[in-house]
Structure 1
């Protein structure tokens, strides 16, 4: 059975941080500030100590590495209720959205529409220069970002037209899951069916490598992406949120 907890662990493995330390069943993660998923504590399961003490460890870990203390916790779970009880706040300043929907696709039987025009779609074993250019946003091209995005068994989906990279996506394999991320279509090529075609190619790549289910994480406010994925057979599985300590409540106890 795919519980929210087991699926969150699989997603974390598909998006590996540079540093990860266990805190009971929780995971403390650092990747020099690149993405919330790789720079927060995954608060799933039992931290092996009272939650107030666990949150202090989260703060110390983050302060030691120069990042904002933050926890990623399944919405309405006992852990989230405990975090709220300690006075933590929703991480509303997280630029990609602090409330996230986790979508799953149980099989790869839904066919994507072919793109219009003479586009070429391929999933590469190594990222192309164009893949990097379209994948990484302003200020994101750092060694940490490149390490996270190439960690594990990854396929790099690329759609090109006349040598120009028009769309990209990342697929990572964890057990029998295909984890989908970083789908991006260049503005000049949107609304031509490229995203659907690229997702179809990525699904085929995942199936060839033993995956029979897919999972992805989308900010709740990204209505366009949610509509696209619904059309490809993805459905909501659960939600998670990011939480941060109240100002001044999480000072560095190691200083």
Structure 2
């Protein structure tokens, strides 16, 4: 069983930012605004200084890198009340949603086949958009072991997902199926193949970070045997 702090650290390693600077056990991260996870300060562990001071340092780091000061805070964590008392609030307007579930499950329960990692233009277009930035290429393309899994139809990528293995965990992200090919079981098939790849890399457990409003994705992961491990929210200064 992974602790919350350890699992959060593995997720961060699987999703590398362009700039990452430690603050005690916290990690200040920036990637030109691509995703909240890569552009926030992960507040797990001891920052090595009072919380108010640590938040001031994190705010300076964010402004230095041209991003909105944001703290990635585990719900119910020891720091949550202190961060609120320091004058920060939940970012209810965050584009990806203010609150996310972290779900985990055993890969052997749904592994079916083995995904082939193919760095196809269509993979990037489906998961990152038509204009792929350097930050996107870094976050999605870097990591200890990364898989660009996809399903194609006549060489056209119709479903895609990114997997990254860190220690014994397969981090799953950017699962996407084209609207014209939804409700055909492609997401489930792709997850099964990615799980098979993860097992080959030595992983035993998958982890997914999914916004609480993304009910279809949550249902899919539950059907695959995943359960909620914990939740986190994004916090920002009340006055910026």
Which TM-score bucket, shorter chain as reference?
over 0.9
Q: Deviations over 1:37-62 (max 9, x none)?
A: 01100000100000000000011101
Name the structure 1 match of 2:219.
227
Task: Report the equivalent of 1:146.
Answer: 137
Q: 1:163 to 1:99 in 2, by over 3 A?
A: same
Larger Cα Rg: Structure 1 or Structure 2?
A: 1
Q: Does 1:56 align with 2:48?
A: no
Say whether 1:93 aligns with 2:96.
no
Looking at structure 2, the residues matched to 211 and 167 of structure 1 have their Cα atoms a distance apart, in angstroms, of 23
- Unaligned stretches of 5+ residues in structure 1: 115-120, 249-255
Deviation of residue 137 (structure 1)?
3.6
Matched pairs, number: 239
TM-score of the aligned structures, taking structure 1 as reference length? 0.90
2:196 alignment partner, one of 192, 204, 216: 204
Equivalent position SS for 1:123: coil
Contact 1:122 1:159 in 2 (8 A): no
Deviates more, 1:79-88 or 1:42-51: 79-88
1:45 paired with 2:38, answer no
Determine the structure 2 residue equivalent to 1:216. 208
* Gaps in structure 2 of 5+ consecutive residues: none
Q: What is the DSSP-based 3-state SS (H/G/I as helix, E as strand, rest coil) of the residue aligned with 2:176?
A: strand
Q: Could you report, residue by residue, the CA deviation over 1:34-90 in whole angstroms, capped at 9, with x for unpaired residues? A: 110011000001000000000000111011111100000110111111111112111
Determine if the alignment matches structure 1 residue 245 to structure 2 residue 237: yes
TM-score (ref. length: structure 2): 0.96
Give per-residue Cα distances to partners, 1:194-218, cap 9 Å, x unaligned: 0000000000000011111110100
Deviations 1:84-134 (A, max 9, x none): 11121111121111100000012422356x9xxxxxx9421x421110010
